[in-house]
Amino acid sequence: MSTLTIKRPDDWHLHLRDGAMMDGVLPHSAAHFARAIIMPNLVPPVVTGDQAAAYRDRILKALPDGMTFDPLMTLYLTENTNPADVAAAHASGLVKAVKLYPAGATTNSASGVQDFDAVRPVLEKMAEIGLPLCVHGEVTAPEIDIFDREAAFIDLVLDPIRQSTPGLRVVMEHITTSNAVAYAEDQDDTLGATITVQHLMLDRNDMLVGGIRPHYYCLPILKRGSHRLELLRAATSGAPRFFLGTDSAPHATHTKENACGCAGCFTAPIALSCLAQTFDEAHALDNLEAFVSQNGPAFYGLPENTDTITLTKGDPITIPDHIDTDAGPVTVFDPGRPVFWSVQ
């Protein structure tokens, strides 16, 4: 197969930031994706319906003429989140999910949750109205090794939340381990899971062997190759509970290349090319459309896109070193091997 036409994809986990950075990165997602779940971890975070509406307006104002893109807004869950505000934001059609960050888990997560009992009223309201909870699935206790934080989160936080809140729809975002795959495959259809480009293509050796590669550093961190293979099996299987969330996370290059570099991979410009390459290598191109265009809308209760996008296999694509923004250059993710699929 050298040409593949699929329904236009969506990105179910995207960081756009704000201001000058957003102006620079937004066109690279809008060029390929029709919709995206927009992460709310700004400074300050997006915690109310009014703040989500204002953020959506800023995104649409920054969208270049001629591009179509629908930002699907989320609220940042805090211990002070008001269940009534969440319900009203959902009823208006504005908010499509609420995001749970354990406090200190990743970029701009200081306002996240420490006491999970404190957010129980919000979770119960969400289960009642069918509003999904998107979870950054890592514990942050210092005694737990960074490579074990996802597995510990499943046992210590996620499963207890789901057991105590029947009917709550949950998205395990950017899963990275065989533990997460096994858990997801053993649950009912109230659970979905997103997988990123980098976790399908790389493991921790790629980040650490022969020198540290800061542009592969993300959270959750890359894991062993055996975990990557399980993620690949899940993503390419066509199973409806797995779908794309790029977690494309732009940082100015100088904030990645320093003594305490930021976590995140900026994959938006080449995400679809990389995924086509990955599915092609796995002899699973027939399931690419399910992963990027069908499973996500089905979980969120939204229609599939009616327009299409075409990918073509040819000479290796040229991956730009960086994109320029008024907030500084942003280095583009490079998987370190040839990618032969381009988006037309």
Specify the 3-state DSSP secondary structure of 88. Answer: helix
Q: Once rounded to an integer, what is the mean pLDDT over residues 178-184? A: 98
The one-letter amino acid at 218: C
Tell me the pLDDT tens digit for each residue of 224-276.
Answer: 999 999 999 999 999 999 999 999 999 999 999 999 999 999 999 999 999 99
Give, in degrees to the nearest 5, the angle at Cα 101 between 97 and 103. Answer: 155
Reported in sequence order, the residue ranges of the chain that DSSP labels E, i.e. its strands, are 3-7, 11-14, 35-38, 70-76, 95-100, 133-136, 170-173, 191-195, 242-244, 308-313, 322-323, 330-331, 341-343
The fraction of the chain above a pLDDT of 70, given in percent, is 98
Q: What local confidence, expressed as pLDDT, does residue 1 receive?
A: 77
CA distance 87 to 125: 7
Each residue of 59-85: pLDDT tens digit?
999 999 999 999 999 999 999 999 999
Q: Which residue has the tokens 């075409």?
A: 310
User: What is the pLDDT at residue 112?
Assistant: 78
Helix and strand totals (H; E) in the chain: 14, 13
The residue-averaged pLDDT of 118-135 equals 97
Rounded to whole angstroms, how far apart are CA atoms 19 and 38? 15
Q: Tens of pLDDT along 295-323? A: 999 999 999 999 999 999 999 999 999 99
Q: What is the pLDDT of residues 1-57, one digit of tens each?
A: 799 999 999 999 999 999 999 999 999 999 999 999 999 999 999 999 999 999 999
CA distances from 291 to 97, 163, 232, 243, 275 (A): 20, 27, 11, 5, 10
| C-alpha to C-alpha distances, 288 to 224, 295, 318, 322, nearest whole angstrom | 24, 10, 22, 27
Which pLDDT score is estimated for 41? 95
Q: Determine the topology of domain 3-343 in CATH.
A: TIM Barrel (3.20.20)
Q: How confident is the model at residue 109 (pLDDT cuts 50, 70, 90)?
A: low
Contact 171, 97 (CB under 8 A): yes
Q: How far apart are CA 121 and CA 129, in angstroms?
A: 13
Query: Are 309 and 32 spatial neighbours (Cβ–Cβ below 8 Å)?
Result: yes
The yes-or-no verdict on residue 102 having pLDDT over 90 is no
163-180 per-position pLDDT tens digit: 999 999 999 999 999 999
DSSP 8-class letter at 326: T
Do 47 and 82 contact (CB within 8 A), yes or no? no
Residues with catalytic roles: 247
Confidence (pLDDT) at 103:
79
Predicted confidence (pLDDT) per residue in 130-164, tens digit: 999 999 999 999 999 999 999 999 999 999 999 99
pLDDT score recorded for residue 110: 64
In the chain, where are the structural domains located? 3-343
